[in-house]
Amino acid sequence: MFEGSGFQATYNVTAKKTGDVKAGNRYFGFDCSACHARFAVWDDPGAGAKPFTSKRPCVFRVSCPQCGADRLYRTDQVQPFRA
């Protein structure tokens, strides 16, 4: 857990494989804290119109598809981007 954050649920999520990410589509994902590569986790159904939100504070455990680093990321670290 992150200091001062109170209770946070942890969700295990899976990064999209490179072949599943289509050029021009919009996604939500993270910048790897180890190798700094940006990777997609979820499709962005709003096509960039709305930011990523969650009903309560949470963290996501995910492995980077580039370097394999398994890390925890907060909701405020979710990055919207176009592939």
Domain-located, residue 2: no
Q: How many domains does the chain have?
A: 1
pLDDT value of residue 79: 94
Closest C-alpha to 79, from 34, 46, 48: 48
How far is Cα 48 from Cα 27, in angstroms, rounded to an integer? Answer: 8
Domain-located, residue 69: yes
pLDDT, one tens digit per residue, over 15-56 is 999 899 999 999 999 999 999 999 999 999 888 888 888 777
pLDDT value of residue 5: 52
pLDDT, one tens digit per residue, over 55-80 is 777 899 999 999 999 999 999 999 99
Full domain range(s) for residue 37: 9-82
Domain-located, residue 3: no
pLDDT value of residue 18: 87
CA distances 5 to 43, 56, 57, Å, are: 27, 11, 8
pLDDT value of residue 78: 94
